[in-house]
Amino acid sequence: MTRSQASILILLGLLLALFWLAPEVPLLGFAAVLLALALRAGGEPLARRTGLPPWAAVLIVATLVMLAIGLAGWAAAAPLTEQAKELAQQLPRSLETLRGKLADTGWGDWVLRQLDPGRILGGGGAENAAAAAASAASTTLGGLGNAVLVVLLALYLAVQPEGYLSGLRHLFAPEIEGRVRDTLEDAGHTLRGWLLGQAFAMVVAGVLTWIGFLILGVPLAGLLATIIAVLNFIPVIGPLIGAVPAMLLALTQDPLMPLWVLGIVVLVQNIEGNFLTPMVQSRTADLPPALLLVTQVLTGALFGLLGVALAAPISALALVLVRRGYVEGWLGWPPKPTA
């Protein structure tokens, strides 16, 4: 075994040990890398046009993004709050309607008995409910702390990436430093392509879904389309999860309308996934759907919701590392020709 191969195996072993001992840490770090790439993607063109240092351009972009989010939230707060209140009022009625329809069938009545809160919570219902509420509050606070950590890490990485990349390259043997540099550049290009395609997909999915819901007459079309657009960050699974509240509300209008709602969501995802997103991502991050689904199931089982959310960019990165590090670097296959 050569020194370069030994350095790769040592680093791979350390990474696996980190995932085993503290799986949330590398996932949060990877989320920070994605956000840093997004900030650099906006800061570098600004630096070229204005002559500003890259770090200053990145800080300007980050400030503008935060201001834009704040202004958008302020402008949409009133209508979205009103729609959220209406959603909170209508969802229980929709669930009650669904419960009534299920109770009229034998299999539905069995499902309702299995989902009975007394069976789920066990004997100490009130105590278990209080414990569940406390756990949910703790999870929420932990999520907010993780979000702040990711933002801070992303700013550090985006403002001065050269130092961190140089340190990472020096963890490998000197004879493969050039290959490591090319692999990192290829990985950054791939992840940027994925981010661009996914941002485009979220906007398109939200707009098309909103138009479809308006045509159907689904209540709270804007809020429900926004939920689906945000969850579209998680390919394949996310939009289907976001369709559940829309289907429940549609049930109050007509028994067949949930099927139309699901049909619109599936149609939009096919248009976005098969035509629009591939045009944007081109060859940079074209993920095979089967590989993406397997990765989502695997990361979800190992790391929970955060693993599912990051499954797609993890897949894109893994394809680059396997091709560059194993297929070409270890096995010695010639590099894949580029278009």
pLDDT above 70 as % of the chain: 75
How confident is the model at residue 132, as a pLDDT? 46
- Beta-carbon contacts of 13 under 8 Å, excluding residues fewer than 6 positions away, are none
* Average pLDDT over the chain, rounded to an integer: 80
Residue 121 has pLDDT above 50, yes or no: no
How confident is the model at residue 137, as a pLDDT? 46
- pLDDT band at residue 103 under the 50/70/90 scheme: low
Residue 128 has pLDDT above 80, yes or no: no
Sign, Cα dihedral of 270, 275, 281, 285: positive
Work out the average pLDDT over 269-295.
Answer: 72
What pLDDT digit, counting tens, does each position of 44-81 carry?
899 999 988 988 999 999 999 888 877 766 765 666 56
- Beta-carbon contacts of 139 under 8 Å, excluding residues fewer than 6 positions away, are none
Lowest mean per-residue pLDDT among 23-32, 42-51, 70-79, 302-311: 70-79
How confident is the model at residue 120, as a pLDDT? 42
What pLDDT digit, counting tens, does each position of 229-249 carry?
888 888 778 888 888 888 877
Residue 331 has pLDDT above 90, yes or no: no
Residue 255 has pLDDT above 90, yes or no: no
pLDDT above 90 as % of the chain: 19
How confident is the model at residue 282, as a pLDDT? 56
How confident is the model at residue 94, as a pLDDT? 67
Residue 134 has pLDDT above 80, yes or no: no
- pLDDT band at residue 219 under the 50/70/90 scheme: confident
Q: What is the DSSP string of 224-261?
A: HHHHHHHHTTSTTHHHHHHHHHHHHHHHTT-TTHHHHH
Work out the average pLDDT over 82-108.
Answer: 66
- pLDDT band at residue 129 under the 50/70/90 scheme: very low
Work out the average pLDDT over 80-95.
Answer: 66
Cα 138 versus chain centre, distance:
22
| Cβ neighbours of 321 (radius 10 Å) | 18
Q: Which two tokens stand for residue 81?
A: 């709050």
Q: Which two tokens stand for residue 249?
A: 């509300």
Answer for the pair 220, 79: CB distance below 8 angstroms, yes or no: no
Residue 113 has pLDDT above 50, yes or no: yes
Work out the average pLDDT over 82-98.
Answer: 67
Query: Which phi-psi region, left, alpha or beta, contains residue 179 (left: φ > 0; alpha: ψ -120 to 50)?
Result: alpha
Please give the C-alpha separations between residue 179 and each of 15, 182, 188, 194, 283, in angstroms, as whole numbers. Answer: 20, 5, 14, 22, 21
For the entire predicted model, the pTM comes to 0.74
- Beta-carbon contacts of 252 under 8 Å, excluding residues fewer than 6 positions away, are 90, 93, 94, 97, 219
Residue 33 has pLDDT above 90, yes or no: yes
Please give the Cα distance from 217 to 215 (Å, whole number). 6
For residue 245, the one-letter residue type is P
Work out the average pLDDT over 304-313.
Answer: 87
The better pLDDT of the pair 337, 244 is held by: 244
